[in-house]
Amino acid sequence: MTPERLEAITARANAATKGPWNHDPNSAWRIYGCEQAHEYVWADSEGDEFPCVAMTGIKGQHPRSPRDAEFIAHARTDVPELVAEVERLSQAETEWAAYRKALVELHEFDELVFGGFICPRCTDSEDDDPVPWPCDSLRAIGVTDDDARQIILAYRAAIKAGR
């Protein structure tokens, strides 16, 4: 979802009548002015008024559409909750990407003259057997063989470009 779309959804939610909204199945007949509605959704009272925000169903016909009314009533609080969750997850994804990038840089590969890649960071000393790259640390954050190929290609492209 683009930030623009999320902004538009947030703007619509903020512009709508304040919540919470309510729905009481089969009670449309009790509200003056809503007698013909099959189901209605109303906002919390502001003084003596109970603003009717939506009516569902077809006048004089069944079904009464209580599920539609329920959905509309809950949208008042569900939509802002979902927007907040999308924002939280987007932020977490951004942080994770930065963390992953830093870890990949920390465990940068070394290409051996006779072929193969090792992780100098995970290889204790020159006396020990070299740890193959991608190492367990990179595997643990989900670096696949495909990712490893991409990292190597990006590294080589950067060298070629003189960076």
Of the pair 21, 109, the CB lying nearest Zn ion is at: 109
Of the pair 106, 158, the CB lying nearest Zn ion is at: 106
Q: Nearest 10 degrees: CA dihedral of 98, 103, 105, 107?
A: -170
**Helix (H) / strand (E) containing 42:** strand 39-43
Using CB under 5 A as the binding rule, whether residue 10 contacts Zn ion is answered as no
Least separation in angstroms between CB 152 and Zn ion: 15
Least separation in angstroms between CB 107 and Zn ion: 4
Distance set, CA 73 to CA 9, 22, 33, 67, 125 (Å): 17, 5, 19, 10, 65
Please give the structure tokens belonging to residue 67: 């599920």
By the 8 A CB rule, do 23 and 39 touch? yes
Using CB under 5 A as the binding rule, whether residue 135 contacts Zn ion is answered as yes
Please, which residues have CB within 8 angstroms of residue 43's CB and are 6 or more apart in sequence? 17, 18, 19, 20, 21, 22, 50, 51, 53, 76
Least separation in angstroms between CB 140 and Zn ion: 10
Using CB under 5 A as the binding rule, whether residue 100 contacts Zn ion is answered as no
Of the pair 75, 118, the CB lying nearest Zn ion is at: 118
Using CB under 5 A as the binding rule, whether residue 55 contacts Zn ion is answered as no
Of the pair 46, 108, the CB lying nearest Zn ion is at: 108
Least separation in angstroms between CB 94 and Zn ion: 24
- Applying CB under 5 A, among 9, 122, 141, 152 the residue interacting with Zn ion is 122
Of the pair 10, 123, the CB lying nearest Zn ion is at: 123
Q: Residue 56 and residue 65: Cα distance in Å, rounded?
A: 6
Least separation in angstroms between CB 149 and Zn ion: 17
CA 5 centroid distance within chain: 13
Enumerate binding residues for Zn ion (CB under 5 A): 107, 119, 121-122, 135, 137
